[in-house]
């Protein structure tokens, strides 16, 4: 799968830290539950995490998700989008995905970047960005 596969469509590409954790589950289930809104905006949604294919598939199936999740084991895609960052928790530093969403227009141009979005606010902010980025109706 590559960005060019979505030429002519609005694309929501969101990076999340880890499958099957509370925040990531809230975010993914929000996208699932707002599927009609994303479809109404003409958008395809893809979620990306640094997890393995097996872990991503298990999370996808467990939550009954209706959009694609991509495994970026090795974080090449996250590196390319600049979201593989140093993080810290409980005094320890490590690298991981920054929770970031890119709204990409039909011509493949990034229309909006939403960094460090709270999972419960994700859909509201992304759907607003989609409305702003929507191509004019002719």
Residues marked active site are found at: 24
Q: Angle between the 22-33 and 53-63 helix axes, to the nearest 10 degrees?
A: 60
Helix (H, G, I), strand (E, B) or coil at 16: coil
Under DSSP, the state recorded for 9 is S
Contact 44, 10 (CB under 8 A): yes
Tokens at 135, concatenated: 């191509």
Taking each continuous run of H as one helix and of E as one strand, the counts in the chain are: 5, 7
Q: Token pair for residue 76?
A: 């090449």
List helix spans (H) across 19-52.
Answer: 22-33, 35-40
Q: Write the DSSP symbol of residue 107.
A: T
11: how many CB neighbours lie within 10 A of its CB? 22
């Amino acid at each position: 799968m590559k960005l060019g596969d979505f030429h002519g469509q609005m694309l929501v590409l969101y990076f999340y830290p880890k499958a099957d954790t509370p925040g990531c589950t809230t975010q993914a289930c929000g996208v699932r539950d707002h599927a009609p809104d994303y479809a109404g905006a003409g958008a395809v949604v893809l979620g990306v995490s640094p997890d393995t294919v097996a872990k991503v598939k298990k999370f996808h199936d467990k939550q009954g998700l209706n959009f694609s999740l991509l495994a970026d084991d090795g974080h090449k895609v996250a590196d390319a989008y600049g979201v593989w960052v140093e993080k810290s928790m409980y005094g320890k530093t490590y690298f991981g995905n920054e929770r970031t969403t890119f709204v990409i227009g039909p011509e493949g141009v990034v229309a909006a970047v939403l960094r460090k979005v709270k999972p419960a606010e994700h859909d509201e902010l992304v759907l607003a960005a989609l409305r702003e980025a929507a191509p004019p109706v002719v």
